[in-house]
């Protein structure tokens, strides 16, 4: 299956303009044979902390993705702000991803599990509580959002039943080295394809270099977007390559998950041991 990532300069809090930019590139992706088109995190608004407003306009982006998927007869996966209050969280919306089928149906929705405290995201968005995954045209896909990339536990949980991880992001240039390394690490350690789709341009005072890429199950780069430039990334994902890689290198079979929780409990109970918090580290 050919997959596409749209790396573009998200116009700050301008859904109509961003929709127009995405439509143009999605059409080009369809012409290039793509069956799945992936958009960045919060593609219509940018990484805004005006969550109530973003949730209000989020319905427009939801309809836009549904209509675009139907119009082009392909799968669309994109980030938006969903007015899905968590239990006990009043009306706090979620930073979300939704997947739309070629007939315009929403078939999967993911809520970002790890909120980016350095930007105050936890003050404006509810935390997700569930991983989601689905199979489209023979490819098993698990989506995650931006900061989730720093938490390998999520990827490991889903690895055995995932061919392609997708990470949609607004990841700033100042930490672009970490973005590139972590994309490759997640692909290598889970022996799965990984498509990272990031934005370019400046949000507030933060430049974003993009560095979107598709990596294979050995962590080799199949295609990558030039930094700082809008780009349409096109690459092929073959589930049989995931199977072949895991048979040739059966590393995942050597895991000992039944032991890990016991090791963690024993480690944390050591005399004098304490869990370090970010504020404790100098």
- Alpha carbon distance 148, 199 (integer Å): 16
4 alpha carbon, distance to own chain's centre: 13
The residue among 220, 243, 44, 209 whose CA lies nearest residue 140 is: 243
Q: In the annotation, is 129 catalytic?
A: no
Tell me if residue 146 is catalytic: yes
Buried b (16+ CB within 10 A) or exposed e, 115-142: bbeebebeebbbbbeebbbeebeebbbb
The whole-number pLDDT of residue 282 equals 37
31, 71, 137, 146: the active-site residue: 146
Query: CA angle, 161 as apex, 156 and 164 as ends, to 5°?
Result: 80
Cα–Cα distance measured from residue 207 to residue 201, given in angstroms and rounded to the nearest whole number: 6
CATH number of 2-254: 3.60.110.10
How far, in Å, CA of 179 to CA of 169, rounded? 10
pLDDT on residue 15: 98
Residue of 112, 121, 168, 173 marked catalytic:
112
Alpha carbon of 222 to those of 120, 132, 164, 195, 271: distances in Å? 35, 25, 13, 10, 48
CA distances from 228 to 112, 121, 189, 212, 225 (A): 25, 25, 28, 10, 9
Task: Give the pLDDT score at 272.
Answer: 75
The domain ranges of the chain are 2-254
Q: What DSSP assignment string belongs to 42-82? A: TTTT-S-S-HHHHHHHHHHHHHHHHHHHHHHTSEEEEEEEE
pLDDT at 281: 44
Active site residue 41: yes
pLDDT at 84: 77
Q: What is the pLDDT of residue 92?
A: 87
**Residue ranges of the chain with pLDDT lower than 50?**
281-282
Question: What pLDDT is recorded for position 220?
Answer: 98
Helix 15-31 vs helix 51-72: crossing angle, to nearest 10? 30
Contact predicate 92/125, CB 8 Å: yes
Structure confidence at residue 189 (pLDDT): 98
Supply the pLDDT for residue 85. 60
Tally of CA atoms within 13 A in the half-sphere of 155 that contains its CB: 27
Contact 184, 155 (CB under 8 A): no
Global pTM reads: 0.94
């Amino acid at each position: 299956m050919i997959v596409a990532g749209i790396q573009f300069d998200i116009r700050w809090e301008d859904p109509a303009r961003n929709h127009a930019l995405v439509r143009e590139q999605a059409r080009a992706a369809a012409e290039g044979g793509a069956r799945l088109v992936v958009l960045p995190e919060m593609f219509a608004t940018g990484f805004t902390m005006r969550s109530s407003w973003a949730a209000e306009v989020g319905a427009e982006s939801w309809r836009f993705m549904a209509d675009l998927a139907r119009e082009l007869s392909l799968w669309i996966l994109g980030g938006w702000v969903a007015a899905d209050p968590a239990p006990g969280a009043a009306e706090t919306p979620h930073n979300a991803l939704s997947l739309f089928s070629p007939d315009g149906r929403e078939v999967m929705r993911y809520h970002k599990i790890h909120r980016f405290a350095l930007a105050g995201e936890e003050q404006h968005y509810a935390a997700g509580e569930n991983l989601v995954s689905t199979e489209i045209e023979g490819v098993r896909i698990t989506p995650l959002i931006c900061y989730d990339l720093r938490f390998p536990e999520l990827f490991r949980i889903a690895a055995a039943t995932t061919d392609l991880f997708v990470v949609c992001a607004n990841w700033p240039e100042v930490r672009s080295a970490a973005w590139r390394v972590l994309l490759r690490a997640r692909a290598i350690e889970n022996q799965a394809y990984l498509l990272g789709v990031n934005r370019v341009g400046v949000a507030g005072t933060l430049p974003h270099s993009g560095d979107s890429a598709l990596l294979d199950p050995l962590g080799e780069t199949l295609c990558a977007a030039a930094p700082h430039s809008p780009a349409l990334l096109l690459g092929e994902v073959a589930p049989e390559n995931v199977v072949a890689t895991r048979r040739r290198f059966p590393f995942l079979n050597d895991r000992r998950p039944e032991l890990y929780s016991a090791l963690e409990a024993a480690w944390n109970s050591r005399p004098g041991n304490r869990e370090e918090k970010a504020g404790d580290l100098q």
